[in-house]
Structure 1
Amino acid sequence: MESVFDVVIIGGGVVGCSQVFTLTRLGYRCLLLEKEAHLVSMASSGNSGMLHTGFDAPLGSIELACILKCQQQILPVLKSLGLPYSKIGATMVAWNSQQKEKLPQVMRKAKDANMDDVLELSLSQLYQREPHLAHGATAALWIPREAVIDPWLTPISFAHHAKSLGAKVLTSTMVQGCEQDSQGIWRVTTDRGIFRGNVVINSAGLYGDVVDKLAGVQKFRIMPRLGQYLVYGKETKSLINSSILPIPTEKTKGVIIFKSVYDNVIIGPTQEETEKRTTPVCLSQQTVNTLLDHGRVSVPSLQSHPVVHTYSGTRPATDTKDYHVIPHIDRNWLTLGGIRSTGLSSCLGVADMVGKIMKEKFCLEPSNSPNMHLPTVDISFTNHRTAMLGSEEYTVTHPITYTGKFDRKAWANL
């Protein structure tokens, strides 16, 4: 490990795993460092698993550009790797006249982002598509390209594939300092030793501002935002046929009722500002009641089914809506910060942008030849918290995966 890596990536969530996946395939010698014991353990362990199209992302934003690029790539990649996905689509529902008045604006925004397949539904079309939806809707839009995937298995497979191509991935490795030597090589000091790299990518998520500060380049502050969810059993899968979206606001997409890729109906997320960068283990009864009420008024039949699991996710929001993709060209340091709830939806788009930055901004050529072959991943689950990818064991950290793969008897032991 004393050699100089082309790229050192700090942070092993969805974004970090996508970077090591893409850059290693391009031929870069990569090292990924994750402070937790397992990959996908912080913000990424509490996302929704939804692949958003970006229909409501700010026009001209880095976020929208990355989501659109990821949309072009991710389903073929998932298919090649043998990973699950479902093109479920989404229905945005207005429940009163004020919400109805906002739908044309949503439609125009989608058209401006070249999403010409977003369609207005008549009320008869809406209830034909979603017969279990509560009565009283005033208007609706159909967004066909929205999809759901496994939010844990996808990034884990990315990192696993990168390792098969020679990338180094270290967990339980806390970064404590970052400095350049006289030749401009980064020395990344950790509690497991010092590692060297030509370029460092900060994809530390909830601690992105802290890691930037170690290198003396901090330009933003993480303002954690908590989202919480209820999970129902698979017997509810027939109650919705698409993701049921509310009208988005300036700050949030709102509470969604959707199916996971494993057919569990899920309600969430909430939108709560918090000072804590860690995620609470249990939901408060008030939060549970709020989400239950949302389900009751939107899909009344849900109230006759029990909640089998709850979970939370803390997102690395900042004071701006857009991502912070900041190449510090004079330092060979790249910041990927503030990648919030759409991190899964944009991950390969962000990685594609990073690949271009490596060559065009940092003038860094890969040490190895590209290897774009994507063999199917051999996956098996030995229990609700352990999966084998090939001969390597991984701890499952996302509730969508471990509740979705097992039945009620297994859920009772979670």
Structure 2
Amino acid sequence: MESVYDVVIIGGGIVGCSQVFTLTRLGYRCLLLEKEAHLVSMASSGNSGMLHTGFDAPLGSIELACILRCQQQVLPVIESLGLPYSKIGATMVAWNDQQKEKLPQVIQKAKNANMDDVLELSVSQLYQREPHVAHRATGALWIPREAVIDPWLTPISFAHHAKSLGAKVLTSTMVQGCERDSQGIWRVSTNRGLFRGRVVINSAGLYGDVVDKLAGVQKFRIMPRLGQYLVYGSETKSLINSSILPIPTDKTKGVIVFKSVYDNVIIGPTQEETERRTNPAGLSPRIMRSLLDHGRVSVPSLESHPVVNTYSGVRPATETKDYHVVPHTDRNWLTLGGIRSTGLSSCLGVADMVADIMKDKFCLEPSNSANMYLPRLDISFTNHRTARLGSEEYTVTHPITYTGKCNSKVWSNL
């Protein structure tokens, strides 16, 4: 049994890694517990790597507030750490007159969120910017601040930096029970022993409702949503100059054609309700055909290039659209649930919100002095599934990283 931590964080995906990064820098003594053998192994290992601006997020939502807070700092943080990013921008394409009629609504929604740089393009302007997009568009929007980052290396670097400041990060550590003692200290029991903390943050993603239930505070239910992707080789990088977005619906941003930070063109994600909370091993023939067809009708030149990889990601959706950021002030338990496909785009904003809750709701002051210095990381990839940050090795769990950075090709059986 360890001494008492200020904060115990359950879950080592992008949200958990962002919490330990931000709170440790502020001086909190943090412990992060991840049940899998490696960080970023569940929902976060199957995201797109796209850094959204929130131009189409619900107005007044926690999601939008967190995305906007993240936007203010994430690229400077990434640049300071020496991580890759590309301010690629995004082009939203209307493929018929009915879709074109929705473009002014998207612009107005962006303006209501204080984003005045979303612009309407004429069809001729669209094809000047994106000559390889199918020549049947009726209109388009330009969203300049959309970007792409490495969706694995970013949270891994956050956790690594926190460890350098004294945070403890344990993997292969399954939380089995949570209870408070007579002094109000949480006792978190795991397969690797008992840990104690003044505050517990539940950022368990796909198992967030299960972890909340351990503490007797369950307020939501995870309703897993599967998204699947095709990955092309980096020789396709000249086929698009920005992320090609469809007109969003009430339920989804839709299937996107975009470039990773390593110039692999990617098509996805799909959206399918599922019972399972783990990523499937491969894509079904039906999904493969659907994504190939989307690529063919959106960027026809993709048809002459082979798919080099596929991957899937299960998102921790819930019965509501917004994030669940719920401080249980009577017991110093904080729930971070339902943080779905925009978790990467909002991660540092969520962490900022959590830091406010620590002081304003839980009245918890840091045990240590703040240390906001961000040194550039020494990063190298030793093989297609291993990266070294300083003297520590980490297993690469995201296909965008090991396909793009390490040139690992997994040829799909089409």
**What's the TM-score, normalizing by structure 1?**
0.99
The equivalent of 1:237 in structure 2 is 237
Indicate how the Cα distance of structure 1 residues 103 and 17 shifts in structure 2: closer, same or farther if over 3 A, else same: same
**For residue 112 of structure 1, what is the aligned residue in structure 2?**
112
In structure 2, the gaps of 5 or more residues are: none
Indicate whether 1:370 and 2:374 are aligned: no
Name the structure 2 match of 1:360: 360
- Pairing 1:1-400 to 2, within 5 Å after superposition: 2-400=2-400
Once the 2 structures are TM-superposed, how far is the Cα of residue 162 of structure 1 from its aligned partner?
A: 0.1
Inter-partner Cα distance in structure 1 for 2:313 and 2:258:
16
Give per-residue Cα distances to partners, 1:63-86, cap 9 Å, x unaligned: 000000000000000000000000
Aligned letter for 1:62?
Answer: I
Once the two structures are aligned, what percentage of the paired residues are identical?
87
Q: String of CA shifts for 1:75-120, please: whole Å, max 9, x gaps.
A: 0000000000000000000001111111111111000000000000
Deviation by residue 1:314-358 (Cα, 9 ceiling, x = unmatched): 000001110000000001000000000000000000000000000
Q: How many pairs were matched up?
A: 412
- Distance in 1 (CA, whole Å) between partners of 2:51 and 2:347 is 10
Letter paired with 2:185 = I
SS of alignment partner, residue 101 of structure 2: helix
User: 2:58 & 2:411 partners in 1: Cα distance?
Assistant: 43
Report the CA distance shift for 1:313/1:25 in structure 2 as closer, same or farther (over 3 A): same
Which secondary structure state, in structure 2, belongs to the residue aligned with residue 160 of structure 1? helix
User: How far apart, CA to CA, are the structure 1 residues paired with 2:37 and 2:376?
Assistant: 26
Q: What is the rounded CA distance, in whole Å, between the counterparts of 2:294 and 2:219 in structure 1?
A: 38
Alpha-carbon RMSD across the aligned residues, in angstroms, is 0.9
For 1:143 and 1:80, the matched residues in 2 are separated by 25
1:67 and 1:281 map into 2 onto residues whose CA distance is 31
Cα separation, 2, equivalents of 1:93 and 1:411: 30
Code of the aligned partner of 2:409: W
- What is the deviation of 1:190? 0.2
Q: Is the 8 A contact 2:308 2:411 kept in 1?
A: no
CA positional deviation for 1:406: 2.7
**Distance (Å, rounded) in 2 between the aligned partners of 1:386 and 1:72:** 31
State how far apart, in whole Å, the 2-side matches of 1:339 and 1:103 are. Answer: 27
Structure 1 runs of 4+ with >2 Å offset? none
- Contact 2:307–2:411 (CA under 8 A) maintained in structure 1: no
Aligned with 1:411: secondary structure?
Answer: coil
- The residue type paired with residue 203 of structure 2 is S
**Contact 2:386/2:393 (<8 A) preserved:** yes
Alignment gaps of 5+ in structure 1: none
Distance in 2 between residues matched to 1:328 and 1:121, nearest whole Å: 47
Deviations along 1:158-204, one digit per CA (max 9) or x if unpaired, are: 00000000000000000000000000000000000000000000000
Q: How far apart are 1:413 and its partner, in Å?
A: 8.8
- Aligned-partner SS, 1:348: helix
Amino acid at match of 1:351: A
Q: Which amino acid aligns with 1:261?
A: V
Classify 1:144/1:413 alpha carbon distance in 2 versus 1 (closer, same or farther; 3 Å): closer
Is contact 2:381-2:406 (8 Å) kept?
A: no
Q: 1:3-26, CA deviations, whole angstroms, 9 ceiling, x for partnerless residues?
A: 000000000000000000000000
- The one-character-per-residue Cα deviations of 1:9-63 (angstroms, maximum 9, x if unpaired) are 0000000000000000000000000000000000000000000000110000000
Alpha-carbon distance between aligned partners in 2 of 1:151 and 1:129, rounded to the nearest angstrom: 26
Whether 1:411 aligns to 2:392 is no
> In the aligned structure 2, how far is the partner of 1:136 from the partner of 1:165?
54
Deviations 1:288-318 (A, max 9, x none): 0000000000000000000000000000000
Deviations 1:349-391 (A, max 9, x none): 0000000000000000000000000000100000010000000
1:201 and 1:413 mapped to 2: Cα distance?
Answer: 40
User: Is the CA contact (8 Å cut-off) linking 2:309 and 2:410 kept in structure 1?
Assistant: no
**SS of equivalent residue, structure 2 residue 2:** coil
Distance (whole Å) between structure 1 residues aligned to residue 359 and residue 115 of structure 2? 30
CA contact (8 A) 2:324 2:335 kept: yes
Letter of the aligned partner of 2:195 in structure 1? F
- Code of the aligned partner of 1:344: L
Counterpart amino acid of 1:209? Answer: D
- Post-superposition shift, 1:411? 1.6
TM-score, normalised with respect to structure 2: 0.99
Question: Matched residues in 2 for 1:111 and 1:47: separation?
Answer: 27
Offset of residue 412 of structure 1: 4.8
State the alpha-carbon separation in 2 of the partners of residues 405 and 276 from structure 1: 30
